Amino acid sequence: MATLSFRNVSKTYPGNIAVIHGIDMDVADGEFIVIVGPSGCGKSTLMRMVAGLESITGGEISIDGKVVNTLEPAERDIAMVFQNYALYPHMTVFENMAYGLKIRKLDKAEIQSRVDKAAKILELSHLLDRRPRQLSGGQRQRVAMGRAIVRDPKVFLFDEPLSNLDAKLRVQMRLEIQKLHHRLKTTSLYVTHDQVEAMTLAQRMVVMNKGIPEQIGTPIEVFEKPASVFVASFIGAPPMNLVPVHIDAQRQVKDENGAVLQIDADLVPAAVTNQKVFMGIRPEHIKLHAPGIPIDIEMVEILGSEQLVHGRHGDTPIVLRCAVGLTKDFPLQIGETVQIGTDGVHPLHWFNVETGKRIDA
C-alpha cells in the first residue's frame, strides 16, 4: 500500500488546450478516492497521468513519497482496471490473470499461489479453465480485477470499470468492489461519471468540472454542503433544485417576477439579504401541499412506494420526491397547481448567482 500525492498537477495538449488546471490533493494510505464528473471534465486524463499513460505538463505526482512524473508505467507499481476488460480471448482465466506475472518472470509456484488467492477472493476458482467468451460480463470484469490483484500493487486505478454492465450487474459489482477494498485495503483511485457509484463507493470524492476539482470531501459532506452550483446540480438523484430568488432586507424571498414566496425568514441567513441568489433545496426535502412555492405539475413518475413530481415555477423546473399516498397526494394531475414547501427539518442552500459558490450563514 502507499500514499498518493498531487502537487499543482496540470495538463495542456498541443494548441494550448488546457484540460487539467492545477490539482492539489493527498490520498492517504489505503484510502478509496472516487473522481466523478461529466464527460470531458478531465477525470480519465488525471488517472492516465497517474498511470503514466499521459505525460504531465506541470506539477508533481508522487506515489509513496517518490515523484513518478518521468517513470514508465511498469515502474510505478500500479495496476489498472479498464471499462472494456481488455482480456486476451485465446487465453484461459488463469492465463489472463497470470500473464503479467509471467512477464515479470516470477516462478511458477508464486504465480500459482497469487492467482489461486485472487480467484478465491473473487469467487473465480471454478472458472479458471474457461476462456473470456464463456463468461458473463460480470465474470469478465472480476477477471480483470483479479489480474490487477495478483500484481499486489501499491495503487489500484479503476477507469469506469462498470460502465459496460447492465443495471443489476452494476449494483452487484459495486458491492464486490467495496468488499474487495475492505479486504485488501489498497490505495485506490476510481473514475466514474455515475454519481451513484461515487456516493456508494467513495471514502472521499473529487467532483471535477472542466479540469478543476470543484469540491473534495466525503460523500456526506458533498451531499449536505455542496460547494458550488455545479456540485449541487450534479450530485443527487434527482439533483438539487436551484431557484433564482431575491432576498430583501427583511429576509423576504421573492421570485424573479417579484412575488413573495412563503419561505420562513428563520431559514434565510443574514449573509444573503439584499441580493439575488440561487435558493437550493433537495427533492427529498420538499413537502407537498405546504406553504412555500406554487408549481404547475408537468409530469409524475411513480416509483412504487414513492413518486417524482416534475413541476415548474415560472421558468424554473422543480422536482420533488415524496411518498405515494391514497389521499390528496395521489394521483396528482398534470396541469394541476400545487403548493410545495420545506420539510422543516433540513436547511436550505444558498449560492452566489455570479460566482456559483456556496454562501454559508
Residue type, 359: I
Q: Where are the domains of the chain?
A: 4-226, 238-352
Cβ atoms < 10 Å from Cβ of 83: 18
Residues 6+ apart with CB under 8 A from 3: 26, 27, 28, 29, 62, 63, 64, 65, 187
Question: Rounded CA gap, 203 and 87, in Å?
Answer: 29
Q: Does the CA dihedral 33-39-41-44 come out positive or negative? A: positive
Q: Is the pLDDT of residue 47 over 60?
A: yes
Q: Mean of the pLDDT values across residues 111-135?
A: 92
Instruction: Tell me the Ramachandran region of residue 23: left when phi exceeds 0, alpha when psi lies from -120 to 50, beta otherwise.
Output: beta
Task: Name the CATH architecture for the domain at 4-226.
Answer: 3-Layer(aba) Sandwich (3.40)
Q: Mean of the pLDDT values across residues 39-60?
A: 93
Partnered with residue 340 across adjacent β-strands are 288
Q: 323-332 burial string, b = 16+ CB within 10 Å, else e?
A: eeeeeeeeeb
Q: State the distance between the two ends of the chain, measured CA to CA, in whole angstroms.
A: 41
Q: For the segment 202-258, what is each residue's pLDDT rounded down to a tens digit?
A: 999 999 999 999 999 999 999 999 999 999 999 998 999 999 999 999 999 999 888
Q: Is the pLDDT of residue 326 over 50?
A: no
Question: Rounded CA gap, 76 and 153, in Å?
Answer: 9
Percent of all residues in the chain with a pLDDT value above 90, rounded to a whole number: 66
pLDDT of residue 304: 83
For the entire predicted model, the pTM comes to 0.89
The yes-or-no answer to whether 4-226 and 238-352 have a common fold is no
Cell numbers 416534475: residue: 310
Q: Could you tell me the CA-to-CA distances from 145 to 81, 181, 348, 353 in Å, in that order?
A: 6, 11, 42, 44
Q: For the segment 252-300, what is each residue's pLDDT rounded down to a tens digit?
A: 999 988 888 989 888 899 999 999 999 999 999 999 888 889 999 999 9
- 4, 49 contact by CB (below 8 A): no
Residue type, 224: E
Alpha-helical regions (H) of 185-250: 195-201, 219-224, 229-234
CA 258 to chain CA centroid, nearest Å: 37
Strands (E), the chain: 4-13, 17-27, 32-36, 58-63, 66-67, 78-81, 155-159, 187-192, 204-209, 212-217, 241-247, 253-254, 260-261, 275-281, 286-302, 306-313, 316-323, 337-342, 349-352
Number of H helices, E strands in the chain: 8, 19
Q: Mean of the pLDDT values across residues 91-97?
A: 94
Question: Rounded CA gap, 295 and 303, in Å?
Answer: 21
- 279, 350 contact by CB (below 8 A): yes
Q: How confident is the model at residue 327 (pLDDT cuts 50, 70, 90)?
A: very low
Cell numbers 411513480: residue: 302
Question: Rounded CA gap, 212 and 195, in Å?
Answer: 17
pLDDT of residue 6: 96
Q: Mean of the pLDDT values across residues 321-334?
A: 71
Q: How confident is the model at residue 329 (pLDDT cuts 50, 70, 90)?
A: low
Fold type of domain 238-352: OB fold (Dihydrolipoamide Acetyltransferase, E2P) (2.40.50)
Residues 6+ apart with CB under 8 A from 90: 131
* Torsion of the alpha carbons at 216, 219, 224 and 225, rounded to the nearest 10: 0
